[in-house]
């Protein structure tokens, strides 16, 4: 079989990817350099510093961490797969409308998605966590050989997840493909729950191939290690090349779920009695009729809840989940909330409506979106936790209110400070540039996780009234910051700047 055409296309795809990355980086070179520098420094710190901790490599605790490394490798692979599948194959290097007029091949799209895959806070935390636990488990003597193998595993897991994601996207675009993907997802979840309930999940994890891989990689620089590293490197290259095949197959088929939602006919309903009701209905429809919002809400509501259900977490541990889910929901559109209007923002600004009502309508829609995902996660995760005590119920209520106000307030402030023109009709679109999305996700995850931990500690007070009372100050502070953001929106100059940016 002739390979000249394939090799030529691969060279062209690499060159096109390099050019597109340079184009994306040209508008924010300084910020990108700082981000890359921070990424390298944090990665080096995670890979080296734990090896210098007391007991690293030669203590009972280090041995326990070493026993968990095979499971950690599997967890990284699962996180990469879920992240890629939920975003429909990966992140877009170029927006769909812009790519339509340029000869960008599916291979270029695939390579761009791989390059942007690390710009995901879940991927970053998992990768840094894997490097850190490896360093602590092996100690300084075997650090370099072990970390070389772990870096190759991270690359292989990312590339393999991309292949799975493109395959799933190709199936989605077949007739009845969406139903097939949902059925397969339900089957996988049912199998995992069945293994957990019957107590066989640990036995399955003990038999995964990563056990043997970890033994070879942490053993040191011997012939077995060299062979394992060579095999991993070859698998990385082969998997990256293999991902182009399903990417081409998916590109040849129309996105049925996106086209179905865009071509649906929605009959007129009775008009709401208030102007605020009309605005809320319009904004709600723009959110719930978008594929990335519907798909993202399903992943956020079901994914963490299933993890909590499999782990049989108690209510004190479940209090951390609402903040993480709310943070993920805000990253779907909330951090650039006005981009939902697009060119329609020019029409919206011509309406005789109080700007403050427009702002609060968007706030209400974002809050109900985040609360729907958070409540679904808590309900699913709490199926095996029993009935919460009064203190636990009070802490859960306080955590839901506080983290929702925190996330909504931060999202609306960022939407005013850094608006972007984004077409969110594509399932792979993100509301802001990738580098800024990493900053948003890190800040939201840190704030909401700390809030969840505080409420988890308040459960020990065993006083529901005191727990609710202590939730009032942070809720009032977040509400005050939200009011300040509304005043900035009412200012005609600031509102005009946002409207011009999102309608470009």
CA distance linking residue 379 with residue 309, whole number of Å: 10
Whether residue 279 is found in the same domain as residue 391 = yes
Q: Is the pTM of this model over 0.85?
A: no
| Nearest in space to 420 (alpha carbons), one of 488, 486, 504 | 504
Segment holding 405, helix H or strand E: helix 390-417
Same domain, 364 and 419: yes
Q: How many domains does the chain have?
A: 2
Q: Residue 432: inside a domain, yes or no?
A: yes
Of 84-88, 212-216, 231-235, 250-254, give the lowest mean pLDDT range.
Answer: 84-88
pLDDT given at position 360? 93
For residues 323 and 222, the model is more confident at 323
Give the torsion sign (CA, 83, 89, 93, 94).
negative
Do residue 114 and residue 87 come from a single domain?
Answer: yes
**Percent of the residues in the chain that have a pLDDT greater than 90, as a whole number:** 13
Q: What's residue 144's pLDDT? A: 85
Q: How far is residue 241's CA from residue 9's CA, in Å, rounded to a whole number?
A: 11
Does residue 13 lie within any of the structural domains?
no
For 382-423, what is each residue's pLDDT tens digit?
Answer: 877 778 888 888 989 999 999 999 999 999 999 999 898 887
185 plus 313 within the same structural domain? no
The secondary structure of 209-241, three-state, reads: CHHHHHHHHCCCCCHHHHHHHHHHHHHHHHHHH
What range defines the domain where residue 156 resides?
Answer: 34-260
**Whether residue 202 sits in one domain with residue 93:** yes
- Give yes or no: residues 296 and 424 share one domain: yes
Task: Identify the pLDDT of residue 4.
Answer: 46
More confident residue, 118 or 335: 335
Determine the pLDDT at residue 221: 61
Q: Indicate whether 254 pLDDT > 60.
A: yes
Angstrom distance (rounded) from CA 402 to CA 452: 9
- 227 & 295 share domain: no
Greater pLDDT, 316 or 372: 372
Question: What pLDDT score does 2 carry?
Answer: 45
Token pair for 256:
């049925």
pLDDT of residue 29: 66
Question: What pLDDT is attached to residue 353?
Answer: 87
Q: Does residue 118 register a pLDDT over 70?
A: yes
* CA dihedral angle for residue 292, residue 295, residue 301, residue 302, rounded to 10 degrees: -150
pLDDT of residue 77: 85
At residue 130, the pLDDT reads 85
Residue whose entry in the numeric block shows the structure tokens 């095979």:
70
Contact 271, 134 (CB under 8 A): no
Residue 9 lies in a domain: no
Q: Give pLDDT, residue 26.
A: 65
Does residue 348 have a pLDDT over 70? yes
Instruction: Flag the least confident range among 164-168, 254-258, 419-423.
Output: 254-258
- 324 and 409 in a single domain? The answer is yes
CA distance 146 to 66: 12
pLDDT of residue 481: 92
pLDDT band at residue 22, thresholds of 50, 70 and 90?
Answer: confident
- Tokens representing 323 are 């903040």
Residues 248 and 296 in one domain: no
- Please give the Cα distance from 229 to 156 (Å, whole number): 11
- Quick one: 315 and 228 in the same domain? no
Statement: residue 476 has pLDDT above 90:
yes
- How far apart are alpha carbons 335 and 179 in whole angstroms? 31
DSSP structure class, residue 66: H
Integer Cα distance of 454 and 449 in angstroms: 9
pLDDT of 3 strictly over 50: no
Q: Which of 207, 182, 183, 202 is nearest to 192 (CA)?
A: 202
More confident: 164 or 192: 164
Q: Domain for residue 20, yes or no?
A: no
286 and 225 inside one domain: no
Domain membership of residue 17 (yes or no) is no
**End residue of a domain, out of 233, 260, 287:** 260
End of a domain among 226, 260, 294? 260
Q: Is 465 part of a structural domain of the chain?
A: yes
pLDDT at 315 over 90: no
Q: How long a stretch of residues is the chain?
A: 504
CB-based contacts of 273: which residues, under 8 Å, 6+ apart? none
- If pLDDT is split at 50, 70 and 90, which confidence band does 156 have? very high
Pair 69, 142: CB distance under 8 Å: no
Q: Please indicate whether residue 396 or residue 218 has the higher confidence score (pLDDT).
A: 396
Can you say how many angstroms the Cα of residue 150 is from the centroid of all Cα atoms in its chain? 22
Q: Are residues 462 and 382 in the same domain?
A: yes
What six digits make up the tokens of 189?
A: 């979840």
What is the torsion angle, in degrees rounded to the nearest 10, for the CA atoms of residue 459, residue 464, residue 467 and residue 469?
Answer: 180
The answer on pLDDT for 98 being more than 70 is: no
Look at residue 11 and tell me if it is in a domain.
no
Asked if the structure places residue 26 within a domain, the reply is no
């Amino acid at each position: 079989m002739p390979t000249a055409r394939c090799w030529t296309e691969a060279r062209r795809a690499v060159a096109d990817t390099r050019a597109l990355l340079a184009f994306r980086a040209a508008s924010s070179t300084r910020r990108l350099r700082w981000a890359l520098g921070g990424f390298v420094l944090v990665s080096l710190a995670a890979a080296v510093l734990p090896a210098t901790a007391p007991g690293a490599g030669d203590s009972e605790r280090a041995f326990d961490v070493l026993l968990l490394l095979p499971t950690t490798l599997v967890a990284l692979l699962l996180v990469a797969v879920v992240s890629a599948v939920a975003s429909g194959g990966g992140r877009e290097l170029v927006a769909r409308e812009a790519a339509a007029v340029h000869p960008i091949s599916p291979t270029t799209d695939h390579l761009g998605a791989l390059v942007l895959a690390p710009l995901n806070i879940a991927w970053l935390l998992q990768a840094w966590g894997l490097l850190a636990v490896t360093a602590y488990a092996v100690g300084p003597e075997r650090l370099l050989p072990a970390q070389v193998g772990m870096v190759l595993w991270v690359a292989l897991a990312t590339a393999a997840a991309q292949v799975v994601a493109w395959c799933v996207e190709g199936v989605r675009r077949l007739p009845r493909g969406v139903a097939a993907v949902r059925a397969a997802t339900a089957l996988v979840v049912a199998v995992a729950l069945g293994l957990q309930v019957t107590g066989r999940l640990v036995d399955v994890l003990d038999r995964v191939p990563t056990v043997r891989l970890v033994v070879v990689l942490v053993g040191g620089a011997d012939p077995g290690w060299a062979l394992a590293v060579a095999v991993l490197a070859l698998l990385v290259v082969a998997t990256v090349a293999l991902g182009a095949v399903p990417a081409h197959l998916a590109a040849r088929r129309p996105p049925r779920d996106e086209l179905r939602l865009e071509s649906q006919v929605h009959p007129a309903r009775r008009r709401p009695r208030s102007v605020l009701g009309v605005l809320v209905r319009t904004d709600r429809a723009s959110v719930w009729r978008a594929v990335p919002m519907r798909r993202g809400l399903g992943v956020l509501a079901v994914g963490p809840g299933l993890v909590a259900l499999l782990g049989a977490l108690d209510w004190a541990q479940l209090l951390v989940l609402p903040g993480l889910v709310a943070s993920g929901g805000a990253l779907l559109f909330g951090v650039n909330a006005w981009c939902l209007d697009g060119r329609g923002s020019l029409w919206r600004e011509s309406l005789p409506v109080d700007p403050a009502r427009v702002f609060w309508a968007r706030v209400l829609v974002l809050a109900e979106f985040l609360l729907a995902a958070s409540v679904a996660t808590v309900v699913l995760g709490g199926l095996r936790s029993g009935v919460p005590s009064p203190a636990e119920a009070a802490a859960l209520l306080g955590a839901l209110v506080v983290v929702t106000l925190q996330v909504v307030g931060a999202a609306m402030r960022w939407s005013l400070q850094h608006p972007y023109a984004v077409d969110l009709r594509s399932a792979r679109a993100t509301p802001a540039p990738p580098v800024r999305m990493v900053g948003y996700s890190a800040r939201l995850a840190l704030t909401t996780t700390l809030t969840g931990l505080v409420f988890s500690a308040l459960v020990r007070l065993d006083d529901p009234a005191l727990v609710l009372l202590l939730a009032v100050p942070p809720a009032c502070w977040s509400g005050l910051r939200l009011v300040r953001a509304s005043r900035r929106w009412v200012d005609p100059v600031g509102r005009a700047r946002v409207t011009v940016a999102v309608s470009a």
